A and B are shown apart, each in its own frame.
Chain A
Amino acid sequence: MTSTVLDNGLKVLVQEVHTAPLASVWCWYKVGSKDEVTGLTGVSHWVEHMNFKGTTNIPRDQVKGIIEKFGGSWNGYTWIDQTTYMETASTAGLDRMLFIEAERMANCLYDPDDCESERTVIISELQGSENDPDTLLEQDVIAAAYKVHPYRHPTIGWLSDLRTMSRDDLYQYYRRNYIPNNATVVVVGDVETEDVLRRVDKQFGSIPPGGAPRRVNVVEPEQLGERRVEVSREGTTAYLKLAYHAPAVGDADFFPMLVLDAILTGAKGINLWSSFRTPPPQRSARLYRALVERRLASSVGAGLLPTEHPFLYLVSATAMDGVGLQDVEAAATEALNEVASQGISERELTKAKNQLRARLVFENDSVTNIGHQLGYFETVASLDLYRDAPGRIAGVTASEVNQAARKYLRSDRRTVGWFTPSGGDAE
């Protein structure tokens, strides 16, 4: 893997993988919903959508087809710390992929009619996700868990902001953040590093750097006591969420906490792009046994995601029909309190590490997935952290996990969420 920085500040990562005649290009920006201010929530994500709608040198009606000609797929996503765009196609399309990303960085159009048309598309995206009661609850639990840190805003934004934001708001945000010194280009695949570096320089080298983007330095004050959220709507099923403040990816506690999560709900891995699409090995995990095997819940899951600032360890359970949420909550908190007070066994530690070792292999099985991981870690933390992850996981001790459990799984630092279907019997 080669890492370099162009004169304009653009970071470039190249990894050769010669197993298939493919190349994956990712372009990452250090901007996500945590960088948004009140009244403009959702702007990062809306900007992402606008950046697929033509540039000075790619007419609006010719966006479609450039990557398809090389059999490629393309996409993008926005989350709390980052916005990213990707193309994976035959290697012959490499120049075109880099051209699209350079254009996206410097020359997007933001036609006023397109901005308006996209407003309703994004509101449709928001309303579609709110059809799911579990999503509705998660949004409220996250908002309640933070008082001041902008992680409290949903990435898609609040509806009123989506209704009022203007084309100029979008464009200014784009211009401020889409600059080479705020970005990382990643190329992985059947390529030659020197050739890639020449091509990247040709496409991106003349884009001028911009002023350093504003960085969030808000620190969430310590939570002093449990918070509770209740959401109710007509429905068929009750849902529980427990949110604990968790360490950031760069914190020494992150990997012990990752091992703890594997013991509680099975290892997921650390690739947001691919890991969460396949179910974790969890049948012997503590919360699965406490809730699903005891027929209190039909499913349980949790996530510890690598984030730049301290985010949440979010446990979710779907109550079995006829079981009260208070019973699901009692069983879940009992299992969490037990691990915090009594610690884990060596056997559990070994099992969790084995699971994570396997997941790290499974989640790097394509040029696309490898490209994601390199860019993700460079953007939210550092490449070194990513390279060190297998070793860091292998080195986690039981006492570190126990310490993390005591530190983070505290009842006075959690937010409890209930979704109660109205008209149903959740009590």
Chain B
Amino acid sequence: MTTDLQKGISADRHVLGNGTVVISKEARTVPAVTIHVGVRAGSIYDSNALLGLSHLTSRVLDRGTREKSSEQIAEALDERGVSLSVGANRHVMSVNCTCLAEDFEAMLELVGEILMQPAFPEEEIVKRKGEVANAIRQDEDSPAAMAMLTLFGMLYPQQHPYGRPAKGTLESVARIGRSDLVEFHDARFAPAATTVIIVGDVDRQRAVAAGERVFGGWRKSVAGDVTLARVPSDRPRQERVIPMMNKAQADIAYGFTTIVRSDPRYYAYTLMNNALGQYGIGGRLGDSIRERQGMAYYVFSSFDANVVEGPLVVRAGVNPSNVDRAVKSIDEEMTRLTKEGLTPEELADCKQYLIGSIPRLLETNGAIATFLQTAEFFGLGLDHDVRLPALLDAVTLDDVNAAARHTLDTTRASLVVAGPYQK
């Protein structure tokens, strides 16, 4: 628990002999433990022919090991009330497990077994492929999902791994066979690609000893990493409409590519995004589109710098008759921010808010585990939470305004409208 900002999370980091990183943090708020294991096996490693392979692997990974059937795993989890989920983002597949402290050792062993010795039973692959196909069809009926999938394809064109659908397509998922899952696991799951985070009511020595016992004997090498193409940000404005006339509301997704996570301007972008589309109810965008014009229940922006230039995306849900006015308002806010910049008061408010929110955002075991996993992935250091206030505080008005000018150029925006709307 972060009871004081100076001391911070103070997690322990150990690198096992085989390269697996084990990070642990004792937190006694509740008698529970969160185990968060990340492996560099996200959707960027899918081939174009087998889009959705990482996602499907995440769905089948915990459905049988060499030692245990899917049913035995289900019983082991359910009889203790354990919450276990496997998910994959662009870079990392993670196994997330929340259990009572009394079950920690048994669950870490099970998580290890799932990660290191999955059996990928044929029957489970068939079932989970059906579920993924259903989820893809549900996305096709969701304006919000269609707007985002299309926007990412526009921001990251030419089959860039950030622009492809993580779930894959109906065709690509149908093509995936058991040998593909086995090969994917063989290539990507290895000690040097794995970070084990343990947060909760378990003391440090016990956590590290358990990590060593479960993962220390794993011997396996990882395949070469993929190289991601850099993403140009100087593309002319592009707009697309996806008519979904059976719906009541239109979803707008509007975005740009930005910077990489290691870029020193990251904190200026974070503050710029906060002022633009987060502070209060949706920042400046919320003030205009929701509060002053009453056009949308939700409007906000999000900024996600990554290994290559990540996106800054504005989202809004509006009545179809308000689409044009809402897009115009988004454009106006971008132009106002690039031309006039933030006021000193706005920057001070956003700094105070983001710095002040750190203890609240690091209150629960799950939140601390996610924070530590991100810090490890981007190499931010174990003391990142302690350094974060100064990093934010050092940002000047010029830094933020330069970030806005660099990115928020409406002539280079990508825009998707999905819903009961036609041009």
CB of B307 within 8 Å of the partner chain: no
* Interchain CA distance A283-B296 in the complex, whole Å: 38
Complex interface residues of chain B between 264 and 305 (CB less than 8 A to chain A): 279-281, 287, 290-298
Complex contact B4–A21 (CB within 8 A): yes
CB of B81 within 8 Å of the partner chain: yes
Complex contact A19–B3 (CB within 8 A): yes
Other-chain contact of A131, B100, B126, B248, B366 (Cβ < 8 Å): B248
Complex contact B249–A131 (CB within 8 A): yes
* Interchain CA distance A21-B2 in the complex, whole Å: 8
Complex contact A358–B297 (CB within 8 A): no
Other-chain contact of B80, A64, A283, A354 (Cβ < 8 Å): A354
Complex contact A358–B80 (CB within 8 A): yes
B135 contacts across to A, CB distance below 8 A: 298
CB of B419 within 8 Å of the partner chain: yes
A267 contacts across to B, CB distance below 8 A: 81
Given A278-B83, A358-B82, A235:B141 Cβ within 8 A? yes
Complex contact A285–B29 (CB within 8 A): no
* Interchain CA distance A52-B144 in the complex, whole Å: 27
CB of B398 within 8 Å of the partner chain: no
* Interchain CA distance A354-B290 in the complex, whole Å: 45
Given A21-B4, A119-B294, A127:B100 Cβ within 8 A? no
A299 contacts across to B, CB distance below 8 A: 131
Complex interface residues of chain B between 131 and 175 (CB less than 8 A to chain A): 131, 133-135, 137-138, 140-144
Complex contact B78–A282 (CB within 8 A): yes
A124 contacts across to B, CB distance below 8 A: 249, 295-297, 317-319
Q: Which of A67-75, A223-231, A327-335, A403-411 contacts B (4 or more CB under 8 A)?
A: A67-75
* Interchain CA distance A88-B367 in the complex, whole Å: 16
> Closest CB of chain A to B55's CB: distance in Å?
14
> Closest CB of chain A to B143's CB: distance in Å?
6
Complex interface residues of chain A between 117 and 167 (CB less than 8 A to chain B): 117-128, 130-133
A362 contacts across to B, CB distance below 8 A: 30, 32, 83, 98
Given A124-B296, A124-B318, A364-B30, A88:B134 Cβ within 8 A? no
User: Closest chain A residue to B293 by CB distance?
Assistant: A117
Given A65-B280, A278-B98, A72:B81 Cβ within 8 A? no
Which residue numbers of A lie inside 8 Å of B, CB to CB?
Answer: 19-22, 52, 63-65, 68-73, 88-90, 116-128, 130-133, 233-237, 266-267, 278-285, 292-293, 295, 298-299, 318, 320-321, 350-351, 354-359, 361-362, 364-367, 421
* A-B residue pairs in contact (CB < 8 Å), sample of 28: A20-B359, A20-B363, A22-B363, A52-B281, A64-B287, A65-B349, A68-B279, A68-B349, A69-B353, A71-B354, A90-B360, A117-B291, A120-B295, A122-B297, A124-B296, A127-B317, A235-B246, A279-B83, A281-B81, A281-B82, A281-B83, A284-B74, A284-B75, A284-B77, A320-B131, A354-B81, A358-B80, A361-B31
Which 7 residue pairs are nearest across A and B when measured between Cβ atoms?
A71-B356, A358-B81, A117-B294, A283-B74, A64-B280, A355-B81, A234-B246
